[in-house]
Structure 1
Amino acid sequence: MALKEKISTWFSGFSPFNMFMLFIAGVVNAAGVTIFIAPVNLYDSGISGTSILLGQLTPPEFSLTLFLLILNIPLLLFGLKRQGPLFTLYAIFAVGIYACTAWLITDILPIDVAFASPLAGTDLFLCAIFGGMISGVGSGLAIRYGGAMDGMEVVAVVFAKRLGITVGTFMMVYNALLYILCGVILKSWILPLYSIVTYASSSKTVDFIVDGLDTEKAAMIITGKPEEVGSELSSLFEIGLTVWETHGFYSGEKKTMLYAVVNQFQIPRLKAVVHKLDANAYVTITTVADLLHGSRESSNE
């Protein structure tokens, strides 16, 4: 395959809109870190938190921006084979915007972020909550639009499975070790403990941005009245349903299982409909981690 065709294949999903949203993500993330977190010596998670710590321990010329670039970019390139060229491009772009915006805020713009937050002062709790939320918006947008804001997330994807743990557990362990190291170096645990609040606030915000309010739920309904239940649900929510013929292991009784995907706000009505039409129906509801379909009408058949 010619080089031009390879490049075309690698970046076939490239989107200028995604690049624009990653630009916004980098700016927002930098604002959260430089205006709320770093001025009061709190620590973000992952490479961002590591960069803040290294920036505090080294001479002024070794800035937060420098560490963000020299730590993140090699890790993102390390994950190139696993994550693909397009993801790597998006992630490096987002980190680059984050680093440049952090430099603008700390060194160029007339904003004093040297010793206190210009908005929350030295209130550690406010800085932890709002810094975590704002940086979480940036990180969530980066993930939602195909990139990442932290090279450690890529390392987690590569090594977590080999270690027999989840990506979330890998990141939690890394951050725990980072905050313990901060406490040992500072000989104080106040800032590391508040940094845990920052991490919690950021994590919840990332989940909200990535999943949104319209979280999809999968309902599996085992019923003896599939026609009535299926017809009512299809008409009420304007969806299709997948149908399986099943039987009980012990009883051998034949029943039908209906599978439908709805949003979380429709779950109470779904339960009410199923209970009204078949009080003996067995229903399980799970969160859908991801959903890919051509249109809402074809999400189930």
Structure 2
Amino acid sequence: MTIQTLHRSLSSLRPKTFLLLFLAGVINAIGVTLFLAPVQLYDSGISGTAMLFWQLTPEPYTLPMFLVLLNTPLFLFGMKKQGLTFTVYSLWAVLIYALASFAINTFFPTSGASPFAGDDLLLCAVFGGLISGVGSGMTIRFGGAIDGVEVMAVIFSKRLGMTVGSFVMVYNVLLYVAIGCIFRSWIMPLYSILTYCAAIKSVDFIVEGLDKAKSATIITSRADAVSEALSEAFGRGITQLPAKGYYSGKEQTLVYFVVNRFQIAKMKAIIQEVDPDAFVSISEVSDMLGSSVKK
């Protein structure tokens, strides 16, 4: 890494982002230390692995220590792939997660039961997953990661012929199987799978939002009329691309348009009214940058 690249990466760091990642680390610690750890449920990824090591080792070894020891080498190993900014943000989030976990265990010690959900494993699994997922989702949304297994997934998934999601899932399945074999009980691993599922939904909500955008691909012979009607109804820019039917050989136009899920019915009605023969395909949009809304 050159000095210029290092300077550019460091100059891109934002104090506001560090503050938001501080909040994310604290939230993640609350979910794990006040809901999961007291009843011996397990988080996913390196966090879950750290919890396992914590339970298998003597008293002086703590969860915060394993969180830092296991995550730090993974983020540093992935720095070339992910960049310095991502690595700094991620290490900061992990450090805050570890420090917040230490503080909670020191000042609000729990043993055998969650202070909020008692010893109800279902409540602890669901709410622990949801809360820790909020922390993880915030970390991802603001440019970092709070679990090193995600970095390993990005680096090794292609080499193994897997998607990033599949890599993470396989890691977690192996982790929960190992927990079941070590403790010769499958109750905690099965409840931990519920935690994992709840956390995934929570991460999706934080990263992508409740109201996901929808993209409509419209193939029509009346592109100008359809575009005009949609533009007047929604006040948005529309993209037109030339297209040609393979079987018919007819020249047509592909119209690309983005709406939210509450506008789909209205959009369909407008298209049907202008061109009943139009072909419409609707897909989910995970993220958007910029705006096509007309000033």
> Using the alignment, how far apart are the partners of 1:160 and 1:197 within structure 2?
24
Do the aligned residues in 1 keep the contact of 2:238 with 2:292 (CA within 8 Å)?
A: no
Query: Which residue matches 2:243?
Result: 246
CA distance in 1, matches of 2:282, 2:268: 10
Distance 1:214 1:272 in 2: 21
Match for residue 14 of structure 2?
Answer: 15
Aligned to 1:176: 173
The letter of the residue matching 1:170 is F
Residues 46, 152 of structure 1: 8 Å contact kept: yes
Which stretch of structure 1 is more off in the superposition, 255-264 or 125-134? 255-264
The AA in structure 2 aligned to 1:28 is I
**Counterpart in the other structure of 1:90:** 89
Alignment of structure 1 residues 194-209 onto 2, 5 Å: 194-209=191-206
Letter in 2 for 1:167: V
For the Cα contact (< 8 Å) 1:34–1:102, is it kept in 2?
yes
Deviation of the 1:13 alpha carbon: 2.8
Where does 1:119-138 land on structure 2 (aligned, <5 Å)? 119-138=116-135
TM-score, normalising length from structure 2?
Answer: 0.96
Provide the residue aligned with 2:62 in structure 1.
63
Q: Deviations over 1:217-247 (max 9, x none)?
A: 2111001211221011112221111111222
Report percent identity of matched pairs.
52
Cα 1:298/1:96, change in 2 over 3 Å: farther
Asked whether the equivalents of residues 112 and 118 of structure 1 are also in contact (C-alpha less than 8 Å), the reply is: no
Distance 1:165 1:153 in 2: 13
Q: Which moved more, 1:231-240 or 1:21-30?
A: 231-240
| Equivalent pair of 2:35/2:114 in contact (CA under 8 Å) | yes
Give the structure 1 partner of residue 154 of structure 2: 157
Q: Which moved more, 1:127-136 or 1:275-284?
A: 275-284
- Amino acid aligned to 2:245: G
Q: How does 1:1-301 map to 2 (within 5 A)?
A: 3=3, 5-107=4-106, 109=107, 111-293=108-290, 295-297=291-293
Q: Give distance in 1, aligned partners of 2:38 and 2:102.
A: 14
List runs of 5+ in structure 1 lacking aligned partners.
Answer: none
Offset at residue 2 of structure 1 (A)? 7.1
TM-fit CA distance, 1:15: 1.8
Partners of 1:91 and 1:142 within 8 A in 2? yes
TM-score of the superposition, structure 1-length normalised?
A: 0.94
d(CA) in 2 for partners of 1:283, 1:2 = 49
Q: CA RMSD in A?
A: 1.6
- Quote the offset at 1:298 in angstroms: 7.4
Distance (Å, rounded) in 2 between the aligned partners of 1:85 and 1:47:
21
Counterpart-to-counterpart distance in 2, 1:228 and 1:198: 50
Runs of 4+ in 1 over 6 A off after TM superposition: none
Q: Offset of 1:260 from its aligned partner?
A: 1.2
Per-residue CA deviation, residues 73-92 of structure 1 (Å, 9 max, x unaligned), is 11010110000000000000
Counterpart Cα distance in 2 of 1:72 and 1:7: 22
Q: What is the total number of aligned residue pairs between the two structures?
A: 295
Using the alignment, how far apart are the partners of 2:161 and 2:259 within structure 1?
A: 32
Q: CA deviation at 1:160?
A: 0.5
Unmatched tracts of structure 2, length 5 or more = none
Q: What's the secondary structure of 2:196's corresponding residue?
A: helix
